[in-house]
């Protein structure tokens, strides 16, 4: 195979990144065979569709009646992932599927079955798993450089307002159109920093560590959101290592973090730590004897490295590093959290702000509370958050 024929499924949201990469960059080993998108007027947003006569369909069934694709790239709403990935593999395509892999464990297991049956792969789009510095760090962990894991933690939050929630009919929803969605910052915008911890603790390069316990405190600040929008999570992986993770969409800052601290027997790996000259935005390990190891010299790869890896694997019959299994621990955490109660934060703890044509709900002192939780491995209720 010299040129990988790609079917792009959904180019109106995050999927626009794949469309732009393939049409604006010089990708010589792949071509767009067709697009499937239901958004009216999408050709106006991407005039190249008409200019280059790219076949545009409303559904994948019609595409496969007339075409074949080596690779399908799926960036539809999460509750459509399972059926579309299955259909594409059954119709001869490898798949690069946006995260989360799907919305139930049964469906994720079934995708593994379909992979075996069809000989096709589904790679999941957690981009950090494809970053070369992350892979180098994982290799060092696997090689025993850091010894046994003791505790991992992460804090990342991005502010999201009404515009974000109103862009579709599933953002912030527990169900949409009768299907499980469980959309939240933990499952969507801030999924990566949690998932990568399970990935780094996987027993092999292509697996993530599964979870045996999931607990946490879930809160809703924004009263228009159905699911929680603020979460402090504690999980234990199979070997008992605890992982703490803190995220929210409701704070005064545009971003908090990402901060990460991975404690191992022989040293601690940090991301976003301030060693005196401001936060260091690269993985940096400090060994117990004081030696510092930086992963900052390793080029991360392309921004959409996952796309390039999927294209290459399609050509050489290999499987990209972020397998369906790598997505399952995160999905398990999402489903376990869905069983916990969500506490509505009282109005007196909140501020409402209009900014840049958007409106935001902010929890007072959230950053301070989360930084304390992160530092001490605690939950908001344990550090005096009166929510
Ligand atoms: N990797 C990342 O960093 C990242 C970032 C954002 C979103 N995502 C993931 O991408 C996926 C989409 O998220 P989004 O924010 O773009 O959602 P969105 O709702 O904003 O956009 C979804 C797109 O899918 C299209 N669509 C809906 N139903 C379709 C169908 N049946 N066939 C074809 N197209 C259809 C919509 O018209 C729209 O263009 C989610 O799984 C999300 O988690 C990943």
pLDDT tens digits, one per residue of 49-91: 999 999 999 999 999 999 999 999 999 999 999 999 999 999 9
Phi, psi for 373 (deg, rounded to 5): -55, -45
Residue nearest atom 37 in ligand 1 by C-alpha distance = 39
Residue nearest atom 38 in ligand 1 by C-alpha distance = 12
Which residues, at least 6 apart from 369, have a Cβ–Cβ distance to it below 8 Å?
363, 380, 383, 384, 385
For the beta sheet containing 149-158, the strands, ordered from the edge strand earlier in sequence to the opposite edge, are: 292-294, 284-287, 267-271, 255-264, 149-158, 242-248, 230-237, 211-220, 342-344
Pocket of ligand 1 (CB under 6 A): 9-10, 12-14, 36-39, 75-78, 80, 98-99, 125, 127, 167-168, 188
Q: How far apart are CA 9 and CA 74, in angstroms?
A: 5
Distance 211 CA to ligand 1 centre (A): 27
**Which ligand 1 atom minimizes the distance to the CA of 11?**
39
- Mutation choice for ligand 1 from 8, 9, 13, CB with most ligand atoms inside 8 A: 13
Contact yes or no for 152/201 (Cβ under 8 A): yes
HSE-up (13 A, CA, CB side) for residue 70: 18
pLDDT tens, N- to C-terminus, the chain (387 residues):
799 999 999 999 999 999 999 999 999 999 999 999 999 999 999 999 999 999 999 999 999 999 999 999 999 999 999 999 999 999 999 999 999 999 999 999 999 999 999 999 999 999 999 999 999 999 999 999 999 999 999 999 999 999 999 999 999 999 999 999 999 999 999 999 999 999 999 999 999 999 999 999 999 999 999 999 999 999 999 999 999 999 999 999 999 999 999 999 999 999 999 999 999 999 999 999 999 999 999 999 999 999 999 999 999 999 999 999 999 999 999 999 999 999 999 999 999 999 999 999 999 999 999 999 999 999 999 999 989
**Which ligand 1 atom minimizes the distance to the CA of 9?**
33
Q: How far apart are CA 248 and CA 99, in angstroms?
A: 18
Output the pLDDT for position 293.
Answer: 97
Q: How far apart are CA 14 and CA 194, in angstroms?
A: 20
**What global pTM score does this model have?**
0.98
Q: How far apart are CA 193 and CA 96, in angstroms?
A: 20
Distance 111 CA to ligand 1 centre (A): 19
Task: Look at the alpha carbons of 35, 99, 218, 270 in this order and tell me if their dihedral is positive or negative.
Answer: negative
Q: How far apart are CA 250 and CA 258, in angstroms?
A: 16
Residue nearest atom 6 in ligand 1 by C-alpha distance = 14
Distance 105 CA to ligand 1 centre (A): 20
Distance 276 CA to ligand 1 centre (A): 40
Distance 74 CA to ligand 1 centre (A): 8
Per-residue pLDDT tens for 345-372?
Answer: 999 999 999 999 999 999 999 999 999 9
Residue nearest atom 27 in ligand 1 by C-alpha distance = 76
Contact yes or no for 256/202 (Cβ under 8 A): no
Nearest to 146 by CA among 200, 208, 198, 209: 200
**Which ligand 1 atom minimizes the distance to the CA of 171?**
19
Output the pLDDT for position 39.
Answer: 97
Which residues, at least 6 apart from 40, have a Cβ–Cβ distance to it below 8 Å?
none
- Mutation choice for ligand 1 from 9, 12, 158, 249, CB with most ligand atoms inside 8 A: 12
């Amino acid at each position: 195979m010299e040129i990988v024929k790609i079917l792009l499924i959904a180019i109106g949201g995050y999927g626009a990144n794949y469309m732009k990469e393939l049409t604006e960059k010089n990708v010589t080993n792949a071509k767009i065979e067709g697009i499937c998108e239901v958004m009216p007027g999408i050709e106006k947003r991407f005039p190249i569709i008409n200019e280059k006569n790219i076949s545009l369909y409303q559904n994948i069934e019609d595409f496969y009646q007339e075409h074949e694709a080596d690779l399908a790239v799926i960036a539809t709403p999460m509750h459509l992932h399972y059926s579309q990935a299955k259909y594409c593999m059954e119709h001869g395509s490898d798949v690069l599927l946006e995260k989360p892999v799907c919305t139930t464990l049964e469906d994720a297991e079934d995708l593994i079955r379909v992979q075996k049956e069809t000989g096709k792969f589904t790679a999941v789009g957690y981009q950090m798993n494809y970053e070369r510095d992350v892979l180098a760090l994982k290799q060092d962990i696997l090689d025993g450089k850091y010894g046994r894991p003791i505790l991992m933690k992460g804090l990342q939050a991005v502010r999201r307002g009404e515009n974000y929630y109103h862009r579709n009919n599933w953002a912030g929803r527990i169900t949409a159109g009768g299907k499980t969605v469980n959309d939240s910052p933990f499952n969507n915008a801030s999924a990566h920093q949690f998932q990568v911890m399970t990935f780094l603790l996987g027993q092999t390069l292509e697996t993530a560590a599964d979870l045996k316990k999931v607990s946490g405190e879930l809160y809703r600040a924004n009263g228009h959101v159905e699911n929680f929008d603020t979460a402090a999570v504690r999980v234990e992986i199979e070997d008992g290592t605890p992982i703490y993770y803190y995220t929210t969409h409701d704070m005064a800052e545009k971003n908090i973090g990402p901060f990460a601290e991975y404690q191992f027997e022989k040293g601690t790996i940090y991301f976003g730590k301030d060693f005196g000259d401001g936060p260091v935005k690269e993985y940096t390990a400090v060994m117990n004897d004081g030696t510092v190891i930086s992963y900052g010299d390793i080029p991360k790869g392309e921004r959409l490295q996952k796309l390039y890896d999927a294209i290459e694997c399609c050509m050489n019959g290999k499987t990209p590093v972020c397998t369906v299994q790598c997505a399952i621990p995160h999905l398990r955490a999402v489903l376990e959290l869905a069983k916990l109660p969500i506490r509505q934060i009282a109005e007196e703890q909140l501020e409402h702000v209009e900014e840049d044509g958007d409106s935001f709900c902010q929890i007072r002192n959230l950053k301070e509370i989360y930084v304390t939780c992160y530092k001490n491995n605690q939950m908001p209720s344990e550090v005096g958050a009166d929510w």
